């Protein structure tokens, strides 16, 4: 976690050394990783280095990991954090000058496609449109070289009750529900993948294979 955090901060500083705004999704902090955090570890380290003006955390529907976990972790560290609805992300990028979207990953395919919490893909699309850089932070154990692309990974879907109910009380209409848990962000929307082995900018299959062939930290 600490190695990834330093790599991530070095990458942020490479592009801009002033305090800036970040956006993150779901939870990739100490609660999820048992350490300093992956995506949130980079943000924590950036805050320590004086590179953070404000962190925006998506609420991350329907489980609300952003509002329940990420916002709590950041507030405990006194990092300036603002919670937003998932649907406010594009407007935020347009109006608030976000420099980086920084997320974790549940799996990364051999070509650099990223499988992560649902909503990550739309953040990457919005980030590219608004000129916001998109960073994925994950250990090399997350990289699945047996899956050539993200389309080969089966994505979990969960019960519709998660969207139709709040706190066990039904609030939605009696309709069919599509509730995928993960989505696939194509590699061409990713500016950088940060691992403990090193950093890949503009990932592709060749760069991913080279990274995974390394036996030592770089």
The residues annotated as belonging to the active site are: 106
Q: Exposed/middle/buried for 10, CB within 10 Å: 0-12, 13-18, 19+? A: middle
What phi, psi does 120 have (nearest 5°)?
-65, -45
Tell me the sheet residues that pair with 165: 170
Q: How would you label 80-99 residue by residue, b for 16+ Cβ within 10 Å and e otherwise?
A: ebebbebeebeebbeeeebb
Q: How many Cα atoms within 13 Å fall on the side-chain side of residue 193?
A: 33
């Amino acid at each position: 976690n600490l190695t990834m955090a330093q790599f991530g901060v070095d990458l942020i500083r490479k592009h801009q050394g002033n305090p800036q705004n970040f956006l993150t999704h779901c939870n990739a902090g100490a609660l999820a990783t048992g350490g300093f955090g992956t995506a949130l570890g980079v943000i924590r380290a950036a805050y320590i280095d004086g590179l953070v003006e404000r962190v925006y955390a998506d609420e991350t529907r329907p489980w609300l990991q952003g509002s329940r976990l990420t916002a709590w972790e950041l507030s405990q560290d006194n990092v300036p954090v603002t919670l937003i609805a998932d649907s406010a992300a594009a407007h935020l990028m347009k109006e608030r000058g976000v420099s980086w979207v920084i997320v974790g990953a549940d799996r990364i395919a051999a070509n650099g496609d990223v499988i992560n919490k649902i909503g990550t893909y739309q953040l990457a699309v919005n980030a590219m449109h608004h000129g916001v850089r998109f960073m994925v932070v994950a250990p090399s154990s997350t990289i699945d070289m047996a899956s050539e692309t993200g389309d080969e990974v089966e994505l979990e879907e969960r019960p519709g009750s998660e969207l139709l109910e709040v706190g066990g009380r039904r609030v939605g209409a009696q309709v069919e529900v599509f509730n995928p848990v993960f989505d696939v962000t194509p590699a061409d929307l990713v500016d950088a993948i940060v691992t403990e082995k090193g950093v890949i900018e503009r990932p592709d299959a060749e760069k991913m294979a080279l990274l995974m062939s390394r036996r030592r930290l770089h």
